[in-house]
Amino acid sequence: MLRRLEILLVGAVLLVGAFATGADFLFFLVYLVLLVVGGAYLISRFGLADLEAGYALDRTHGHVGEQLRATYTLRNVSRLPKLWLESSSPSTLPVPLPGRALSLGPRAERSWAARVPLVARGHYRVDPLLIRTGDPLGLFEAAATVGAATAVTVYPRVEALPDWRLPPSSLEGSRSSPERTLQATPLVTSIRPYLPGDAYNRIHWKSTARQSELQVKEFDLEQTADLWLFLDLQAAVQTGRGDESTLEAGVRTAAALASHALLDNRAVGLTVSGHRTSVVPADRGARQHLKIMSLLAAVAADGTEPLIETLVQGLPRLRRGMTAIVITPSLERDWVRPLASLRSRGIRAAACLLDAAAYAAYRAAGSPVAAPPSDGRAARALQHALAEHDIRVFHVTPARPLGEILVDVRGAGLALAR
């Protein structure tokens, strides 16, 4: 902009001087400035004419550690070359997609691919493709956008748990739970009018014939030995930074346990105590996996509610035969008693304790070190309270695979029964 003002000022001075003196040389300079400025304007004005462009992402969701691949194509259908083009895709990704400057000959085409690593979970946006061009003097510029914005969801990294198993159910029979589920179970309890998206194999034809309107069956969730996770996101108890923090360790632990249980065809529920308490009712299948991963991709350590309140509100949702696992860095003991009360209801319990002192030391040293707990008395008291109620404890520490942590000394996995 400043350069443009300078050239306009010089042109105005030359024009005044030419008419004031009548010198042919000054008129020649005025014509030259007009020619240069006009040519620069035309180059930038028609620089994007007869240009076709597009881009495509190879995925709209992925896990931390994977790569996002974007393929770009620019095609010049004109008989005139495109001397300078700059293409980029602005985004909110932690690692931005790289842009490229190029030129295109007459009726030429260029395609290329850009790859960026997905380094942090979250919900991001890739804006439309931005194409810019201009003149060699930088006086004028033209820009255009192609396509629409695309949402990209990055799920947390899911670690393998090859030796981890949920305990078998201790139920002598199967009973229904008054929770509607999208999965088909043997427990058909009611019918309702058909809605767009309902599967045709759920249509109840006898009721449809009687009521002259499509009716579909509703299922209750069958009571089995399933899993419910409680992820503590109270801001006051979190420590560490980046990938090696109690927040990310808790999210990874929840993601790994949920994925493994769902692959084992167990129903999984999740309660997250963030800025507001979010609950994913227990269910099974690929759709449930997507719900849990989408929630874990967006959570942050911004909770204000202590863990005991989350448990008191959430434990009534649990059914006999389930397993409740609490994931927390908290050293408070008040949440142990609500968890211990589950034994009388036939619900097994465990705790994944995130070692806040170890993560704080890791942040300071940049590598895993043996660090004493920040409050040794509180840690010992919590350990004693959990042992007193026979609640199995797993200590999650930095730079150690979850597959090693969530295995007992006999290699039998999460054997909660004593």
Question: How far apart are the C-alpha atoms of 48 and 131, rounded to whole Å?
Answer: 8
Q: Which residues of 217-234 are buried (b: 16+ CB within 10 A; e: fewer)?
A: bebbbbbbbbbbbbbbbb
Give me the residues of the chain with pLDDT under 50, please: 169, 171-182, 186-187, 222-223, 369-374, 409-418
Q: What is the mean pLDDT of the chain?
A: 81
Asked if 358 and 245 count as a contact pair (C-beta separation under 8 A), the reply is: no
Note whether residue 197 is domain-resident: yes
Question: How far apart are the C-alpha atoms of 106 and 47, rounded to whole Å?
Answer: 12
Token reading at 18: 């030419």
The rounded radius of gyration (Å) of the Cα atoms in the chain is: 32
Note whether residue 11 is domain-resident: no
Note whether residue 175 is domain-resident: no
Q: Tens of pLDDT along 33-59?
A: 777 777 777 777 788 888 889 899 999
Please tell me the total number of residues recorded for the chain in this structure: 418
Residue with tokens 């039998």: 412
- The one-letter amino acid at 382: L
Q: Is there a single domain that holds both residue 56 and residue 148?
A: yes
In the chain, the number of structural domains is: 3
Q: Which of 257, 253, 185 lies closest to 227, judged by CA?
A: 257
Q: Is there a single domain that holds both residue 117 and residue 215?
A: no
Whole-number pLDDT of residue 189: 58
- Give residues with Cβ within 8 angstroms of 400, minimum separation 6: 368
Note whether residue 26 is domain-resident: no
Q: Is there a single domain that holds both residue 98 and residue 194?
A: no
Q: Is there a single domain that holds both residue 334 and residue 196?
A: no
Q: Is there a single domain that holds both residue 210 and residue 233?
A: no
Question: How far apart are the C-alpha atoms of 285 and 56, rounded to whole Å?
Answer: 29
CA atoms in the 13 A half-sphere facing the CB of 143: 10
Q: Is there a single domain that holds both residue 145 and residue 245?
A: no
Asked if 408 and 160 count as a contact pair (C-beta separation under 8 A), the reply is: no
Domain residues for the domain of 138 are 51-155
Asked if 232 and 307 count as a contact pair (C-beta separation under 8 A), the reply is: yes
Q: Which of 155, 189, 213 delimits the end of a domain?
A: 155
Q: Is there a single domain that holds both residue 65 and residue 120?
A: yes
CATH number of the structural domain spanning residue 366: 3.40.50.410
Token reading at 383: 């350990």
Note whether residue 356 is domain-resident: yes
Note whether residue 190 is domain-resident: yes
Q: Is there a single domain that holds both residue 232 and residue 287?
A: yes
Q: Is there a single domain that holds both residue 290 and residue 197?
A: no
CATH number of the structural domain spanning residue 95: 2.60.40.10
Question: How far apart are the C-alpha atoms of 40 and 42, rounded to whole Å?
Answer: 6
CA distances from 407 to 228, 349, 396 (A): 19, 15, 12
Whole-number pLDDT of residue 367: 54
Strand partners, 49: none
Q: Is there a single domain that holds both residue 258 and residue 296?
A: yes
Whole-number pLDDT of residue 373: 44
Q: Is there a single domain that holds both residue 266 and residue 376?
A: yes
Whole-number pLDDT of residue 152: 95
Q: Tens of pLDDT along 133-147?
A: 887 777 778 888 988
Note whether residue 293 is domain-resident: yes
Q: Is there a single domain that holds both residue 71 and residue 95?
A: yes
Note whether residue 201 is domain-resident: yes
Q: Is 126 helix (H, G, I), strand (E, B) or coil?
A: strand
Rounded to 5°, the CA angle 212-218-222 comes to 160
